[in-house]
Amino acid sequence: MNRVVCAGHVNWDVTLHVDALPDPDGEAAITHQSQAGGGSASNTACALAGLGVEVPLLGSIGSDRYGTLVTEELQTVGVDCDPLVSVSGETTVKYIVVDDDGEVFVLANEGVNEAYEADDLPTETLAEADRLHLTSQDPATAMDLQQRAKRRSIPVSFDPGRRLGSRAFGDLIQDVDLLFLNEREADEVVDLLEGRQSPTVIKRGDGGAVFRDESRTISHEGFDVTARDTAGAGDAFAAGFLAARLRGRSVREALATANSCGALAVQSSGARVDLSWAAVERYCQTH
């Protein structure tokens, strides 16, 4: 079985669906609400586990009830939580507000989701990995993890997420073997992308996705889908692409798989989606 170590944020998400995003001093009606685990690394790990990949998860949680809930949920879907670090303090909680079009905005407390260090990942856990996948986290920690993997010739992928513009990720963007960005993020770092020699995958939402490297550009048009909640869709996309490539699928097939995972994610509430190869292949065949 393939093995991907995921590293980054592990949160607890409170999702509020509203009839409309209110103007300043306005009010909106909550039409549905739910709570579940979240965080980009955690979301990707769950999606990979559903696709049959072994996933040790490096991150940090607080010594509170949310930390317990997150860990229990992850273990239920098959994520290896042994590398998770529990520290004194509060698990990061994010409040995700979703409008009728499925678009989101996020409110968060500080929490402890960046309290871990690169050395918290056991050497043997990294050595047994086919890939290290980094998501949004402290840039210094991410660089340390990337260097540890590089010394062992383990490929590294990176999906920096919405905080890209406020964090010093420049070296990682240029050095990692595989980079995931959405269109807005790609526009923010266009100068850095010009210096990249390794592949970059641009996620375009309902417009599909594009893979680019030095010699080729490959695209997939995506699927026509009505979004219920876009939270976590990019994480599901990355998981689908990585899992497909680990199975030996072509880039074009991996893009189709990734877009299927993203489409399934936006049709479910919350940042997590229940993925399996059967569900992904059925979606590809019927859309």
What does the pLDDT read at residue 269?
Answer: 67
CA pair distance 11, 36, nearest whole angstrom: 9
Of the ranges 2-6, 109-113, 225-229, which is most confident?
A: 2-6
pLDDT of residue 209: 95
pLDDT band per the 50, 70, 90 thresholds, residue 125: very high
pLDDT in tens, 35-49: 999 999 999 999 999
From the candidates 13, 175, 229, 235, give the one annotated as an active-site residue: 235
Q: What was the pLDDT predicted at 266?
A: 83
> What is the pLDDT, as a whole number, of residue 148?
97
Contacts 24+ apart (CB under 8 A), 252-260: 252/218, 252/220, 254/211, 255/201, 255/208, 255/209, 255/211, 255/218, 255/219, 255/220, 256/220, 256/284, 257/284, 258/201, 258/209, 258/220, 259/208, 259/209, 259/220, 259/222, 259/223, 260/223, 260/284, 260/287
The model's pLDDT over 60-69, given as tens digits with 9 standing for 90+, comes to 999 999 999 9
Q: pLDDT per residue over 138-151, tens digit each?
A: 999 999 999 999 99
Model pLDDT, residue 161: 83
Strands 200-203 and 209-212: antiparallel
For position 270, what pLDDT does the model report?
Answer: 60
Mean pLDDT value of segment 245-274: 89
Task: Please give the Cα distance from 125 to 10 (Å, whole number).
Answer: 19
**Domain CATH number, residue 91:** 3.40.1190.20
Q: Write the pLDDT tens digit of every residue in 10-27.
A: 999 998 889 888 888 889
Tell me whether residue 144 is one of the annotated catalytic residues. Answer: no
For the stretch 145-204, pLDDT in tens is: 999 999 999 999 999 987 777 788 888 999 999 999 999 998 888 888 887 889 999 999
Residue 277 has pLDDT above 70, yes or no: yes
pLDDT tens, 79-96? 999 999 999 999 999 898
Domain with 86 in it: 4-286
From the list 104, 49, 99, 47, the residue with the least C-alpha distance to 264 is: 47
Domain count, the chain: 1
CA angle 159, 166, 71 (to 5 degrees): 50
Q: What is the pLDDT of residue 205?
A: 84
Query: Is residue 32 over pLDDT 90?
Result: no
pLDDT confidence band for 271 (50 / 70 / 90): low
Q: What is the pTM of this model?
A: 0.93
